[in-house]
Amino acid sequence: MNISIVIPLLNEEESLPELSEWIVRVCAANHLSYEIIFVDDGSNDGSWKIIEQLSSQNSNVKGIRMRRNYGKSAALQMGFEQVQGDVVITMDADLQDSPDEIPDLYKLISQDDYDLISGWKKKRFDPFTKTIPTKLFNWATRKMSGIQLHDFNCGLKAYKKEVVKNIDVYGEMHRYIPVLAGWAGFRKIGEKEVQHQKRKYGTTKFGLERFINGFLDLLSIGFVTKFGKRPMHLFGLLGTIIFFFGFVIACYLAYLKFAMDVHKMTDRPLFYFGLLAMIVGTQLFLTGFVSELIVRHSSDKNKYQIEKKAGL
């Protein structure tokens, strides 16, 4: 099978028939074998009934229904677990992503050998209250991840199947799939300028809180990826440095008291800074030590990404 198209959705009953017909038409015109996997993330409208109808009319259309709304990341992960196509394409269900982009995305993965292609909505039809925070979010992500993409959060992306089978998408991590893929060892990541369309039906399901959550998730995956298997390298180092400064302050104050005969040390703010530094440093060091013990006894402590084998 050439393509698996994963479409997470929440209350998009109006757009599903048109989107499905559009995808089928594009794939047929380009002679692409395909499957469409709709993942209903707890919709309370008629979305699931429409998915069932589409599936009964076309065996290439499949559906997964979540018991409740778990979020876009969970929906994508469930879809990724079921895909069979050599190339996996994700898109939103609101018709803002154009299925006409599918053939070019497929060629970039299958012929140009990219691991991942992320869409770039250079011209957007969103209000400035959404576009300005998005630009700040993308700038921060580029700086922290080192991956030079213009639009990390674009729902229209294409992947090699092995990419989606080797990453775990949870929480709100769907925004950082290129980052997760890059840190998993997939280096050939590119982008393609794609057409962005105005929302035809319904309203957006995301609010401004997604930018706060997105920044916190970026910090989270940065820590887990770099220090998940060696937490002592972070907590131990920080704890040692902070404790050292506190110890130096304590030695200085002790020198003043016993060698210079200076009294009332507890009236000095420096005394409390030194004491606080030693306490915080000790706590950080112990946090790293306990985290290291947990990692050492975890079942996946020796789980690493392997690209290829030879002679084994």
User: pTM score, two decimals?
Assistant: 0.74
pLDDT of residue 303: 54
d(CA 211, CA 152): 12
pLDDT of residue 92: 92
Instruction: Report the greatest alpha carbon distance in the chain.
Output: 92
3-state SS, residue 266 = helix
DSSP letter at 7 equals E
Instruction: Determine which of 51-55, 147-151, 275-279, 308-312 has the lowest per-residue pLDDT on average.
Output: 308-312
CB-based burial of residue 80 (10 Å sphere; 0-12 exposed, 13-18 middle, 19+ buried)?
Answer: buried
> Is the pLDDT score of 301 beyond 60?
no
Q: What is the mean pLDDT of the chain?
A: 85
pLDDT of residue 302: 47
Q: How many C-beta neighbours within 10 Å does residue 295 have?
A: 16
d(CA 100, CA 103): 7
Domain ranges of the chain: 3-227, 232-296
**Over pLDDT 90: what percentage of the chain?**
49
d(CA 198, CA 236): 50
| Structure token pair of residue 19 | 């989107």
Q: Which CATH superfamily groups domain 3-227? A: Spore Coat Polysaccharide Biosynthesis Protein SpsA; Chain A (3.90.550.10)
pLDDT of residue 275: 92
- Contact (CB, 8 A) for 28 and 125: no
- Contact (CB, 8 A) for 114 and 69: no
d(CA 168, CA 156): 18
pLDDT of residue 304: 47
d(CA 174, CA 133): 17
Highest averaged pLDDT of the listed ranges 5-19, 186-200, 292-306:
5-19
> Is the pLDDT score of 26 beyond 90?
yes
